[in-house]
Structure 1
Amino acid sequence: MTAVKIPAGTVDAIELSGELVVPPAATGIVLFAHGSGSSRFSPRNTYVAKVLQQQGMGTLLFDLLTHAEDQNHVLRFDIGLLTQRLLAATAWLQEYSETKALKIGYFGASTGAAAALQAAAEMRTAVAAVVSRGGRPDLAGETALSRVVAPTLLIVGGADYGVIELNEQAYAMLRCRKRLSLVPGATHLFEEPGALEQAASLAADWLAEYLCDQVEED
């Protein structure tokens, strides 16, 4: 694991702290966009990142906001700002020597899912796949959702009532290859036994399909 500092692309010279892992022979890397009030140390995202790493994918867990910014509740829900930070991190990966040749995927949780989809709409084919876990993809807005071309998986807890419906609304607006998967009995944070493991498995399978080079059998 490498601790990195990512220029946020603002006039204030803000740097975002991140943790970068690139397994040997990786062909893809996943940027994590966490939800409001969370950080790169989120135990749920950290768990998912380890599952992806075990399948040969690189991961970048980073803070979308500085510590001072995160104290401002309004900024936590500023999807436009979160999207710009995610795009800045994407641009950094595209220039960084260890990652510039890797396919890019996004994994978003809560409000981070909206930022991931807005960024994917902006990046178009430069993003290979998107996964939302317990996310608010509806906050990305219909214009952005309709412009996403990256294959997108929406993972929602089967008992996360209210959020399920919001994901269904966003799903209907997507024009890309897409899938909506419910994890039975899971609530918003996937705290039930086996729920996070199932969500991570769904995410890993989806991302591996688009980020990992498949070895053809004779």
Structure 2
Amino acid sequence: MHSPASLASTITAFIVKLRHFELSIPARGVWLTARLAHSPAARGLIVVLQTAMNPLIRQRENLITGVLQRAGYATFALDLLTDAEEQRDPDARYNIARLTERTLSAIEWLRFQPGTMMLPVGVLASDTASTAGIRAATRDPGHINALCLFGGRPDLAGAAPLKALRVPTCFIVGKEDPRAPILREAFDLIPAIRAWRATDGAEPEHLPASYLTANAKLAAEWLLTHLPVRPAPEEIPATEEPPPVTVAVPPPS
């Protein structure tokens, strides 16, 4: 178990050289966009789920994945909706069944990639992607080792999936988030190892960069104590080349 001091030093000092990939991966008949940052020295892989792709979301993603990468994790940021779906249907992010299936497809795809197949997997999600994360972890607990939610709508997962959740789960919720009481009701249904972290601010979608970075550090600290780790970087030869990543390319339209 890490002490708070050692956690803080780990997050600032565990620097690994990452290779970055822009990917398109197949998922239930569509191609989803993803961004992988990987190193053979990574502690584990954090899958960051999101349902929107505007420039503000990209900035938030970069802040969050940057903190996780400095903690020694590879990151896989996945857009659960295509551009066309997001533009055509503003309610597409509430199609929880579809988001869940796509999350499971991505987890399965990662299991067969040489660079990620052996890494323990954590999922970090917000908004309605948090619902997909819960349902996916309930259905595939053998390949999702920890779940961290930035507010979001875990209540939409339903009582049965929440009660069936068996992976360690952390809720990071703003003290001023108007949804906090509903989130607490969902949290209380979870029988697994769980943690509630109350932070400054409101919904994560509207947090300034400094608050969002602080929340990401909380997530990284929690993941360090609940996600199985790979061997330390010094145990991996410095000359080792990163394993190849299979890049799926969508067929011509």
Specify if TM > 0.5. yes
Deviations 1:121-162 (A, max 9, x none): 01123211000002111111111111111100000111112x
Where 1:56 maps in the other structure, the secondary structure is coil
Gap regions ≥5 residues in structure 2: 1-19, 233-253
- Post-superposition shift, 1:63? 1.2
Where 1:42 maps in the other structure, the secondary structure is helix
1:30-179 matches, within 5 Å, as 30-35=46-51, 37-38=52-53, 42-71=58-87, 72-161=89-178, 163-179=179-195
Gap regions ≥5 residues in structure 1: none
Kept in 1: contact 2:63–2:209 (CA 8 A): no
Kept in 1: contact 2:107–2:143 (CA 8 A): no
Are residues 1:208 and 2:220 paired? Answer: no
Q: 1:114 to 1:91 in 2, by over 3 A?
A: same
- Post-superposition shift, 1:56? 1.1
- Post-superposition shift, 1:105? 0.8
For residue 150 of structure 2, what is the amino acid of its counterpart? R
For residue 110 of structure 1, what is the amino acid of its counterpart? D
For residue 122 of structure 2, what is the amino acid of its counterpart? G
Kept in 1: contact 2:119–2:230 (CA 8 A): no
TM-score with structure 2 setting the length:
0.78
Q: Which residue of 1 aligns with 2:210?
A: 194
Identity among equivalent positions (%) equals 30
Are residues 1:6 and 2:22 paired? Answer: no
What is the alpha-carbon distance in structure 2 between the residues aligned to residue 213 and residue 93 of structure 1? Answer: 16
Q: 1:192 to 1:74 in 2, by over 3 A?
A: closer
RCO higher in 1 or 2 (8 Å CA, sep ≥ 6)?
2
Kept in 2: contact 1:112–1:135 (CA 8 A): yes
For residue 32 of structure 1, what is the amino acid of its counterpart? V
Kept in 2: contact 1:57–1:211 (CA 8 A): no
- Deviates most, 110-119 or 186-195: 186-195
Q: Which residue of 2 aligns with 1:25?
A: 41
TM-score with structure 1 setting the length:
0.89
What is the alpha-carbon distance in structure 2 between the residues aligned to residue 94 and residue 24 of structure 1? Answer: 15
Kept in 2: contact 1:52–1:59 (CA 8 A): yes
| Larger CA Rg, structure 1 vs 2 | 2
What is the alpha-carbon distance in structure 2 between the residues aligned to residue 6 and residue 55 of structure 1? Answer: 26
